Amino acid sequence: MTITEITNILKTADERELASLITEFSEDQRVGVIKQVAAAAKRLSAYEAELARIEKMKAYEKQYAGYDYICGIDEVGRGPLAGPVVACAVILPKDTRLLYVNDSKQLSKAKRELLYRQIIEEAVAVGIGMASEKRIDEINILQATYEAMRMAISELSVKPGILLNDAVTIPDINIKQVPIIKGDAKSISIAAASIVAKVTRDHMMENYDSVYPGYGFAKHSGYGTKQHIEAIRVLGPCDIHRRTFIKGII
């Protein structure tokens, strides 16, 4: 085979095929092949490290494997000055092979979008719940968050046997709950929920950007950036601003 042919094989191969291909081509002493085999070995090493990381993130799911449906729950949007708080409940298959799932804040926008599609496609069930900015003003952000989480659970197509929550215990839920501090970095189910919640809310805020131009919602998703605060002072609040959050600004 030519060096170009070997390069194409190594670059396009599935990670699970790399070990055998590296063995096959490692005897070839052409400089170009040696270089490509080294690159493939580096890629394989990264893949194996990711497999190990994901297995570690399944620790809670393995601990509670006796339950048929294990649900991860997380929310996004407790801190912004505008827009809803969004919660997500996700039940993944027990044999999931999803890689690169992590706390949504640790992922690039492109990676979140890709994983969002993969999670939606693979999940046994996904539920979304939200509380509007008006509801947040009415009952406070903590109670609105709980309300959004309960709504997300109610939207699942199957009833979970256990809930793995990111840090909180949700009131008025008659399902066993396990609150996990920094759960979106420790449980694959919670991490998947954090990704879906984040992408769902980001899409909403991008749409709001065209409805309420000038605030920069597509850029900062309603968080209190310098640009956003200045826009509120110049333009005044719009319909989706949380009045209880912007008292000090206006």
Question: Which residues 6+ apart lie within 8 Å of 100 measured at CB?
Answer: 50, 107, 111, 115
Phi, psi of 159 (to 5 degrees): -90, 125
Q: Please give the average per-residue pLDDT across 220-225, as a whole number.
A: 97
Closest CA to 88 of 65, 104, 64, 100: 104
Look up residue 236 and give its two tokens: 């005044």
Q: How far from each other are the two terminal CA atoms of the chain, in whole angstroms?
A: 70
Q: What is the pLDDT of residues 82-141, one digit of tens each?
A: 999 999 999 999 999 899 999 999 999 999 999 999 999 999 999 999 999 999 999 999
Q: What is the pLDDT of residues 7-48, one digit of tens each?
A: 999 999 999 999 999 999 999 999 999 999 999 999 999 999
Mean of the per-residue pLDDT values of the chain: 96
- Scanning 78-140, the segments in alpha helix (DSSP H) are 109-122, 133-139
Q: Please give the average per-residue pLDDT across 45-63, as a whole number.
A: 96
Q: What was the pLDDT predicted at 38?
A: 97
Q: What was the pLDDT predicted at 111?
A: 97
What is the Cα–Cα distance from 99 to 115, expressed in whole angstroms? 9
Q: What is the pLDDT of residues 135-178, one digit of tens each?
A: 999 999 999 999 999 999 999 999 999 999 999 999 999 999 99
Cα angle: 174, vertex 146, 150; to 5 degrees? 50
Look up residue 99 and give its two tokens: 């890689």
Q: Is the pLDDT of residue 197 over 90?
A: yes
Q: What was the pLDDT predicted at 250?
A: 83
Q: Please give the domain boundaries of the chain with CATH numbers for all domains.
A: 3-56 (no CATH), 61-197 (3.30.420.10)
